Amino acid sequence: MQAALDDHYEQHPQARPDLGDLAIAAAELDGHPLAGHPKRLRQAAAEIAANHPDASPDDVLLWAEARALPAA
Amino acid sequence: MRLVVLDNEAVQALQDPTHPKHRHVVSHAQVVASRKRRAVAIQVVVPTAVRVEAGWDRTSPAWVFPNRLRIADSPLDTPSASTAAGIRNETGVSVADSHIGAVIRSAHNDQITVVTSDPADMRQVAGDKNITVAAI
Protein backbone atom coordinates (compact mmCIF):
# COMPACT_ATOMS: atom_id res chain seq x y z
CA MET A 1 0.00 0.00 0.00
CA GLN A 2 2.83 2.38 0.88
CA ALA A 3 4.57 1.55 -2.40
CA ALA A 4 1.43 2.57 -4.30
CA LEU A 5 1.30 5.86 -2.41
CA ASP A 6 5.02 6.53 -2.93
CA ASP A 7 4.66 5.91 -6.68
CA HIS A 8 1.67 8.23 -6.73
CA TYR A 9 3.59 11.00 -4.92
CA GLU A 10 6.39 10.65 -7.42
CA GLN A 11 3.99 11.12 -10.33
CA HIS A 12 1.85 13.75 -8.58
CA PRO A 13 3.96 15.65 -6.02
CA GLN A 14 1.07 17.99 -5.22
CA ALA A 15 -0.86 15.00 -3.86
CA ARG A 16 1.69 14.33 -1.11
CA PRO A 17 0.11 15.30 2.23
CA ASP A 18 2.15 17.32 4.73
CA LEU A 19 2.19 16.65 8.47
CA GLY A 20 -0.75 18.99 9.03
CA ASP A 21 -2.86 17.18 6.41
CA LEU A 22 -2.03 13.84 8.03
CA ALA A 23 -2.85 15.06 11.53
CA ILE A 24 -6.23 16.30 10.31
CA ALA A 25 -6.90 13.02 8.49
CA ALA A 26 -5.93 10.99 11.57
CA ALA A 27 -8.21 13.09 13.76
CA GLU A 28 -11.07 12.71 11.28
CA LEU A 29 -10.69 8.94 11.01
CA ASP A 30 -10.69 8.57 14.80
CA GLY A 31 -13.43 11.12 15.50
CA HIS A 32 -10.93 13.03 17.65
CA PRO A 33 -12.38 16.23 19.17
CA LEU A 34 -9.73 18.30 17.39
CA ALA A 35 -10.91 17.05 13.97
CA GLY A 36 -13.11 20.12 13.80
CA HIS A 37 -10.15 22.44 14.42
CA PRO A 38 -7.90 22.08 11.38
CA LYS A 39 -6.16 25.43 11.98
CA ARG A 40 -5.08 24.33 15.44
CA LEU A 41 -3.79 21.05 14.07
CA ARG A 42 -1.86 22.77 11.28
CA GLN A 43 -0.33 25.17 13.83
CA ALA A 44 0.65 22.27 16.08
CA ALA A 45 2.11 20.42 13.09
CA ALA A 46 4.21 23.42 12.13
CA GLU A 47 5.50 23.80 15.70
CA ILE A 48 6.38 20.17 16.23
CA ALA A 49 7.92 19.73 12.77
CA ALA A 50 10.32 22.59 13.49
CA ASN A 51 12.05 20.56 16.23
CA HIS A 52 11.03 17.02 15.34
CA PRO A 53 11.12 16.47 11.58
CA ASP A 54 10.12 12.80 11.99
CA ALA A 55 7.04 13.55 14.09
CA SER A 56 3.95 11.49 13.34
CA PRO A 57 0.34 12.68 12.99
CA ASP A 58 -0.37 11.15 16.41
CA ASP A 59 2.48 13.23 17.88
CA VAL A 60 0.77 16.31 16.43
CA LEU A 61 -2.53 15.38 18.03
CA LEU A 62 -0.84 14.93 21.42
CA TRP A 63 0.93 18.27 21.07
CA ALA A 64 -2.26 20.02 20.00
CA GLU A 65 -4.07 18.52 23.01
CA ALA A 66 -1.28 19.63 25.33
CA ARG A 67 -1.39 23.17 23.94
CA ALA A 68 -5.12 23.27 24.63
CA LEU A 69 -4.66 22.44 28.32
CA PRO A 70 -4.79 25.42 30.67
CA ALA A 71 -1.45 26.26 32.31
CA ALA A 72 -1.13 24.84 35.83
CA MET B 1 -10.71 -3.25 14.21
CA ARG B 2 -11.67 0.05 12.67
CA LEU B 3 -13.63 -0.21 9.42
CA VAL B 4 -13.30 2.72 7.02
CA VAL B 5 -16.04 2.99 4.37
CA LEU B 6 -15.69 5.24 1.32
CA ASP B 7 -18.59 7.04 -0.34
CA ASN B 8 -18.91 8.00 -4.00
CA GLU B 9 -17.15 11.35 -3.80
CA ALA B 10 -14.33 9.93 -1.68
CA VAL B 11 -13.72 7.32 -4.38
CA GLN B 12 -13.84 9.87 -7.17
CA ALA B 13 -11.49 12.20 -5.29
CA LEU B 14 -9.06 9.35 -4.67
CA GLN B 15 -8.92 8.39 -8.34
CA ASP B 16 -8.54 11.86 -9.84
CA PRO B 17 -5.35 13.82 -9.00
CA THR B 18 -7.04 17.01 -10.26
CA HIS B 19 -10.06 16.59 -7.97
CA PRO B 20 -10.12 19.41 -5.36
CA LYS B 21 -10.42 16.85 -2.55
CA HIS B 22 -7.78 14.45 -3.87
CA ARG B 23 -5.07 15.37 -1.37
CA HIS B 24 -7.55 15.21 1.48
CA VAL B 25 -8.62 11.65 0.66
CA VAL B 26 -5.03 10.61 -0.08
CA SER B 27 -4.22 11.86 3.44
CA HIS B 28 -6.75 9.38 4.82
CA ALA B 29 -5.20 6.60 2.73
CA GLN B 30 -1.72 7.57 3.96
CA VAL B 31 -2.81 7.46 7.60
CA VAL B 32 -4.33 4.01 7.02
CA ALA B 33 -1.14 2.80 5.30
CA SER B 34 1.03 4.08 8.17
CA ARG B 35 -1.20 2.40 10.74
CA LYS B 36 -1.20 -0.89 8.84
CA ARG B 37 2.60 -0.75 8.83
CA ARG B 38 2.43 -0.48 12.62
CA ALA B 39 0.02 -3.48 12.69
CA VAL B 40 -2.92 -1.35 13.80
CA ALA B 41 -6.17 -3.17 12.94
CA ILE B 42 -7.82 -1.06 10.26
CA GLN B 43 -9.48 -1.93 6.97
CA VAL B 44 -10.84 0.21 4.13
CA VAL B 45 -13.81 -1.03 2.11
CA VAL B 46 -15.89 0.23 -0.77
CA PRO B 47 -19.46 -0.99 -1.13
CA THR B 48 -19.83 -2.34 -4.68
CA ALA B 49 -22.83 -0.09 -5.39
CA VAL B 50 -20.59 2.88 -4.56
CA ARG B 51 -18.02 1.50 -6.98
CA VAL B 52 -20.68 1.36 -9.70
CA GLU B 53 -21.85 4.91 -9.01
CA ALA B 54 -18.27 6.19 -9.05
CA GLY B 55 -17.42 4.27 -12.22
CA TRP B 56 -14.66 2.28 -10.52
CA ASP B 57 -13.92 -0.51 -12.98
CA ARG B 58 -11.13 -2.60 -11.46
CA THR B 59 -10.10 -3.79 -14.93
CA SER B 60 -9.60 -0.25 -16.24
CA PRO B 61 -6.11 1.30 -16.27
CA ALA B 62 -7.68 4.56 -15.07
CA TRP B 63 -8.20 2.96 -11.66
CA VAL B 64 -4.72 1.54 -11.10
CA PHE B 65 -3.95 3.79 -8.13
CA PRO B 66 -7.11 3.00 -6.10
CA ASN B 67 -6.73 -0.68 -7.06
CA ARG B 68 -3.28 -0.74 -5.45
CA LEU B 69 -4.50 0.63 -2.11
CA ARG B 70 -5.92 -2.67 -0.86
CA ILE B 71 -9.44 -1.31 -0.61
CA ALA B 72 -11.71 -4.33 -0.37
CA ASP B 73 -15.07 -4.67 -2.09
CA SER B 74 -18.06 -5.04 0.20
CA PRO B 75 -20.44 -6.89 -2.13
CA LEU B 76 -24.16 -6.26 -2.55
CA ASP B 77 -25.12 -9.83 -1.75
CA THR B 78 -28.63 -11.06 -0.98
CA PRO B 79 -28.79 -9.99 2.70
CA SER B 80 -27.11 -6.63 1.95
CA ALA B 81 -29.52 -5.98 -0.92
CA SER B 82 -32.49 -6.55 1.37
CA THR B 83 -31.07 -4.27 4.08
CA ALA B 84 -30.20 -1.63 1.49
CA ALA B 85 -33.67 -1.83 -0.05
CA GLY B 86 -35.18 -1.28 3.39
CA ILE B 87 -32.93 1.73 3.97
CA ARG B 88 -33.81 3.17 0.57
CA ASN B 89 -37.53 2.72 1.26
CA GLU B 90 -37.11 4.36 4.68
CA THR B 91 -34.96 7.30 3.71
CA GLY B 92 -35.11 7.83 -0.05
CA VAL B 93 -31.31 8.08 -0.36
CA SER B 94 -29.45 6.78 -3.41
CA VAL B 95 -28.80 3.09 -4.06
CA ALA B 96 -25.11 3.61 -3.31
CA ASP B 97 -25.79 5.37 -0.01
CA SER B 98 -28.31 2.67 0.90
CA HIS B 99 -25.59 0.07 0.35
CA ILE B 100 -23.26 2.07 2.60
CA GLY B 101 -25.98 1.92 5.24
CA ALA B 102 -26.26 -1.85 4.81
CA VAL B 103 -22.49 -2.23 5.22
CA ILE B 104 -22.56 -0.10 8.38
CA ARG B 105 -25.52 -1.92 9.90
CA SER B 106 -24.13 -5.40 9.21
CA ALA B 107 -20.57 -4.63 10.32
CA HIS B 108 -19.31 -6.28 13.50
CA ASN B 109 -16.51 -3.74 13.86
CA ASP B 110 -16.46 -1.77 17.08
CA GLN B 111 -15.29 1.36 15.24
CA ILE B 112 -16.67 2.50 11.90
CA THR B 113 -15.60 5.61 9.99
CA VAL B 114 -17.29 6.81 6.81
CA VAL B 115 -15.31 9.12 4.53
CA THR B 116 -18.04 11.15 2.88
CA SER B 117 -19.10 14.44 1.39
CA ASP B 118 -22.56 13.99 2.89
CA PRO B 119 -22.39 13.51 6.66
CA ALA B 120 -26.14 13.98 7.19
CA ASP B 121 -27.08 11.17 4.81
CA MET B 122 -24.48 8.88 6.34
CA ARG B 123 -25.85 9.42 9.84
CA GLN B 124 -29.32 8.75 8.47
CA VAL B 125 -28.40 5.48 6.75
CA ALA B 126 -26.38 4.30 9.77
CA GLY B 127 -29.58 4.00 11.82
CA ASP B 128 -28.75 3.15 15.42
CA LYS B 129 -25.11 2.33 14.66
CA ASN B 130 -22.54 4.70 16.14
CA ILE B 131 -20.27 5.94 13.36
CA THR B 132 -17.48 8.45 12.93
CA VAL B 133 -17.92 10.73 9.95
CA ALA B 134 -14.82 12.04 8.20
CA ALA B 135 -16.26 14.86 6.13
CA ILE B 136 -14.51 15.75 2.90
pLDDT for A46 equals 95
pLDDT for A67 equals 85
pTM for the whole structure: 0.94
* pLDDT class of A70 with cuts at 50, 70, 90: low
What ranges do the domains of chain B cover?
A: 2-115
Mutate to test the interface with A, among B30, B34, B40 (most CBs of A within 10 A): B30
Under-70 pLDDT residues of chain B:
none
Q: What values do phi and psi take at B111, rounded to 5? A: -130, 125
pLDDT for A11 equals 97
ipTM: 0.94
Please give the Cα distance from A64 to A41 (Å, whole number): 6
- A14·B4 Cβ contact <8 A: no
pLDDT > 90? residue A6: yes
CA distance B70 to chain A (A): 7
A29 vs B contacts (CB less than 8 Å): 2, 4, 28, 31-32, 113, 115, 132, 134
Q: Looking at the domain that runs over B2-115, which CATH code has it been given?
A: 3.40.50.1010
**A49-65 residue pLDDT tens:** 999 989 999 999 999 99
Long-range contacts of range A57-61, CB-CB < 8 Å, 24 or more positions apart? A57/A19, A57/A22, A57/A23, A57/A25, A57/A26, A57/B31, A57/B34, A58/A26, A60/A19, A60/A20, A60/A22, A60/A23, A60/A26, A61/A23, A61/A26, A61/A27, A61/A32, A61/A34
Q: Residue window 17-56, chain B: list those with CB within 8 Å of chain A.
A: 17, 22-24, 26-34, 36-37
pLDDT for A71 equals 54
**B74-106 residue pLDDT tens:** 999 999 999 999 999 999 999 999 999 999 999
Q: What's the N-to-C CA distance of chain A in angstroms? A: 44
pLDDT for B82 equals 98
